[in-house]
Chains A and B, each alone.
Chain A
């Protein structure tokens, strides 16, 4: 904090006071934009997000009737830029439509996990005592399993399918956000402004959501962005194992699984392009998440 000694000239005071207020978010945004790798990550992520949102709207696709065996496994050409698969379907088309499954589900899974996880973490950290103990005990049980294994177990319980894969991935990531939220709450609730709020007589819920919650957001945002990458990978893995998106609908992991058998027989395009799509998306969100982490780091704040 900058202290201005009253002895100094009033010009200085006036200058500082007249400076337009700069929020944390604005600062963070500027730092994010300034980061080259983060810009790249953002570009990739936005590209695939746009694909996921607009392709199904602009080019409607009926996966159910898409099969033309006479055009089976054509090499990439002007007509089919990424070739065709064993059903004679255009690989590029399926990758574009598969973005909706991979990204849509990845992002929603993270959103669900963030909302539930943060809520659990906030309550747990703020309430303390046995509520904290109980909730964290539950979270620790979930954390004890490797993520993908737990997701497989969840899908095995509720049956394969894209929606169930989403729920599985969300469930698996809840404890991560709960832990992060709780730990920030624990440090924030000792701050003076929280004590002040309490002295003024604010009710707990108001303190929790007005003062504690906004201040614990940034680590969750960072984890969330990185979490999208992990979620996409998990969705693809579930799809690969046949537990996610069911045929004939396109999904990158499932496309990979269908193509593995061509590994030895030269049809590289059915394998390469879905793999690239997964890799690029995950890379994009990882770079973006990394940039967001740097941008939101209060120690790096400059004025």
Chain B
């Protein structure tokens, strides 16, 4: 063999390695995809590759795809565009622009202000709510907005005998939020009666007072469809949204983007959309999305790597906005694990974690340490509680007292002895900006106290599914508040059903005392009284170490310097009609 050939071979090997690595380096969705859906997976990889890295080097702004559009880089693909069905933030970002409800959250707060209702009255007993509707609001298809439309929408959400409701359920498109916020469907729901007093007045009669009622109505899912359009769309409602919002739906290119267009007949004339179009692009990879922003392909993005927060702050061409802290990340115990039924063991787990460095170093400077479920700004927050002191030795001692002098590495889960698996999320969420790193750091802290866990993960939908079934012995997850009411944080997780049966989706949590306090708080109307109850509940949760709360994060958003008028809302779903791109 000639030396030339050999050299060529060596070179080839090099190229092959580099090519393979580059192919790998085309960042996978941070999640290890363990499912065998090979077709889908290839799609993801293709998409990621489409943004070559060189763009950063050359840094020539890509030709603007239309100067009249506001382009938002989202972390993923919408699931569905029927707001009544969805539960996720990526879908609700789109539906927020298209649909409106009776009331909304004002600007960057949880203050409830009128939207399609002009004003409302509540009876002294808190059971009768009368809303006066705005006149002259039109749906995108020209249908008039009136009491009839409100009633038809409520029937669609609440009445399981409504043909479309039934058809949606049958198609696996469920009304999860309605069920949660209004306590069930049909007669089980909190509504005794919903009636139209006249064409522009709607009256809700509740079976009992509900503290967070108005906040619930302001959530992204209780917004109104054009009744005619809904009827036409049927079970295809995910693909043909029609509301009264400032933008109307144009098209949804799967795995690529959703395009919206300003609605000329919008009722709120001063707030007609400033930009002609809105394009919400799907760029799953955090770094690729930032590159797209740097090159001007998108005007705004969410889901910054913590490490990139500073870089954005220091870049004159970009700017950074933080959403007010309304998220809490936690580590949850599964109470089917025999060891976790012992308070001392749970306390040891909580005490062994050194939260401060984790929050400081792995949240990109946007996080703060948490030790109760509600973020500090929430009115149910208990100011008297102090975080447990990080103390490895004390944690070891607690474990020894509980009968584990040599630490814990195996547990009895559902009657079987298994190694203790600690599950970390495969994707970054606002409450855990990089779960793998955070999980690794938590596991290392535990290991120093003799708690030997093995880190596990699986793709996101399987992860959530396993959690729902209560199959994860010890796991990371968190919550972003939807409506500014403590109920939405604490009760959502710790209120038990009528039979007080353990909740598999919350690790078979079943504490009647806590649940009773929370239910009482939800049925109380006066905020001061409610606040006391929530503070009491937080103390009980803390004393019993039901969960280990890790941190509250202020999710960062990055913009081109020329983008103005974006108002961050703690719910994470914002209106784009005020945005201007210069």
Residues of A at under 8 Å CB distance from B? 37, 62, 64-67, 69-70, 72, 86-88, 149, 153, 155-157, 159-160, 229, 233, 236-237, 240-243, 246-248, 253, 256-258, 260-265, 267, 275, 278-279, 282-283, 286-287, 290, 294
Contact = CB atoms under 8 A, between A and B. Distances in A.
Given A65-B448, A69-B358, A260-B27, A265 B20 contact: no
A260 B288 CA distance: 11
Contact of B305 (A65, A157, A242, A261): A261
A72 B441 CA distance: 11
For the residues of A in contact with B, the DSSP-based class is helix
Interface stretch (B154-162, B256-264, B452-460): B452-460
Contacts of A258: 436-437
Nearest to A243: B32
Contact of A65 (B27, B308, B447, B456): B447
B436 A70 contact: no
B455 A246 contact: yes
Nearest to B424: A247
A153 to B, nearest CB: 6
A258 B437 CA distance: 8
A242 B36 contact: no
B271 interface: no
Interface residues of B, number: 53
Nearest to A71: B361
Given A37-B10, A69-B358, A261-B305, A87 B21 contact: no
Interface string B20-34: 110011011001111
Nearest to B25: A260
Contact of A283 (B13, B28, B33, B357): B13
B19 to A, nearest CB: 11
A69 B10 contact: no
A87 B438 CA distance: 9
B17 A156 contact: no
Contacts of A153: 36, 38
Given A153-B36, A264-B287, A67 B444 contact: yes
B21 A67 contact: no
Given A237-B20, A248-B443, A263-B287, A242 B38 contact: no
A279 B19 CA distance: 11
A188 to B, nearest CB: 24
Given A69-B358, A86-B362, A247-B436, A241 B21 contact: no
Contacts of A233: 17, 20
A21 B125 CA distance: 109
Given A242-B426, A247-B455, 16 more contacts: A64-B443, A69-B441, A88-B361, A160-B32, A240-B28, A243-B34, A246-B455, A247-B436, A261-B27, A261-B286, A261-B307, A262-B307, A263-B287, A264-B56, A275-B21, A286-B13
Closest 7 CB pairs of A and B: A242-B32, A67-B444, A69-B357, A64-B447, A69-B361, A286-B13, A65-B447
A260 B21 CA distance: 11
B14 interface: yes
A43 to B, nearest CB: 14
Interface in B163-200: none
A176 to B, nearest CB: 16
A290 B25 contact: no
Contacts of A246: 454-456
A160 B34 contact: yes
Interface in B328-374: 357-358, 360-362
Contact of A247 (B1, B17, B440): B440
Contacts of B360: 69
Interface in B410-468: 426, 434, 436-437, 439-441, 443-445, 447-448, 452, 454-457
Contacts of A290: 6, 9-10
B67 interface: no
12 contacts: A65-B444, A66-B444, A69-B358, A149-B38, A153-B36, A159-B34, A241-B28, A242-B426, A257-B24, A261-B434, A279-B21, A290-B9
Contact of B437 (A87, A260, A279): A87
B444 A87 contact: yes
B466 to A, nearest CB: 13
Nearest to B357: A69
Contacts of A236: 24
Contact of B24 (A237, A267, A279, A294): A237
B99 to A, nearest CB: 35
Contacts of B444: 64-67, 87, 248
B393 interface: no
B21 to A, nearest CB: 6
Interface in B277-330: 286-287, 290-291, 305, 307-308, 311
A256 B13 contact: no
A237 B576 CA distance: 41
Interface in B77-115: none
A69 B362 CA distance: 8
B53 interface: yes
A283 B21 contact: no
Interface string B22-63: 001101100111111010000000000000010010000000
